[in-house]
Amino acid sequence: MAVAFDGPVVLETRFEGLRLKARGKVRDIYDLGESLLIVATDRISAFDVVLPDGIPGKGMVLTQLSAFWFQWLSQYEDVLWNHFISVDAADFPASCQPHRAMLGGRTMLVRKADPLPVECIVRGYLSGSGWTDYQQTGEICGQPLPKGLVESQKLPEPLFTPSTKAERGMHDVNIPFADMEARLGADTAKLIREVSVMLYTRAAAYAESKGIIIADTKLEFGLDPSSGQPMLIDEVLTPDSSRFWPLNQYEPGRPQPSFDKQFVRDYLTSINWNKQPPAPHLPADVITQTSARYREAYRLLAEGHD
């Protein structure tokens, strides 16, 4: 469906009558008792530091694209249950209705979950920290790869590389799968690895049919408080949690143009920022071009989908 990603840039929210549970790098989370309200602001982070400038429309793109994927994935019975309830403000509890104008478009109503202390990364292409790791060791996160691969090359098969889930301002750290098993239990860890790779593989095939390569993605899972069963939570397959490349410009052996925040990372690298707070301001053209990339990703993936 077509969505208008208009309105003022929102860097932080405060809603009278709603209890703020947490404020992450991008999302403000409110506890509604039976459920949670996840409000995606227009904040953007790079290298685990929140930048001082917002990206117009970004929060709405993240929310609407996550909603699209949560609903798209529900067609598969073998993919875990997810926490999504609605993005329609009319479905939100009465306590939210006075704030409907601000909540509309950028907010998901979700089921509560106990988040698992790992982030689940699936890599389909050789890029980012994976490329750096491969150049130095011939491996990605301890997993050997064939010799002679080039930057941005498609991997022989998707790799599952878990990491710690860092607090705001801290850096995630890659961990071996055995460490994930120790943290979650062997059965839960293996199930989540299997589901993560399955989810990535199916979503990547769909995205490619729409002109986008999903080079890698980061997924999060939690446990249903009542049943203890795992479910998919947070955002899913967005330009914040994934590398999106235009299929028609793909060329192995070099960095790729992208629909995600890699454009911002590249700018910050070009000015030799030390990746420590405070972060520098972004030029107007970088903000404008980043906003356009996020919107184009949504248009290609979700608009016109039946």
| Model pLDDT for residues 60-81, shown as the tens digit of each residue | 999 999 999 999 999 988 889 9
> H helices within 36-99, ranges in order?
58-73
Contacts of 76 (CB under 8 A, 6+ apart): 202
Q: How many CA atoms lie within 13 A of 165 on its CB side?
A: 16
Contacts of 276 (CB under 8 A, 6+ apart): 49
Burial of 114 (0-12, 13-18, 19+ CB in 10 A): exposed
AA letter at 295: R
Mean pLDDT of the 196-221 span: 97
CA separation (Å) from 227 to 145, 193, 223, 296? 39, 20, 8, 39
Instruction: Say what the pLDDT of residue 21 is.
Output: 97
Instruction: Say what the pLDDT of residue 260 is.
Output: 84
45: its two tokens: 């982070």
Distance CA 251, CA 257 (A): 10
pLDDT level of residue 171 (50, 70, 90 thresholds): low
pLDDT level of residue 304 (50, 70, 90 thresholds): low
Share of the chain above pLDDT 70, in %: 96
Instruction: Say what the pLDDT of residue 169 is.
Output: 52
Burial of 134 (0-12, 13-18, 19+ CB in 10 A): buried
164: its two tokens: 């710690």
Instruction: Say what the pLDDT of residue 5 is.
Output: 84
Mean pLDDT of the 216-241 span: 95
- Phi, psi angles (nearest 5°) of residue 99: -110, 20
Domains of the chain: 115-260 (3.30.470.20)
CA separation (Å) from 304 to 2, 60, 207, 298? 7, 17, 13, 11
pLDDT level of residue 263 (50, 70, 90 thresholds): confident
Selection from 212, 239, 210 nearest residue 303 by Cα = 210
19-63 pLDDT, tens per residue? Answer: 999 999 999 999 999 999 999 999 999 988 999 999 999 999 999
111-134 pLDDT, tens per residue? Answer: 999 999 999 999 999 999 999 999
Work out the mean pLDDT of the chain and round it to a whole number: 94
The position carrying tokens 């993936």 is 301
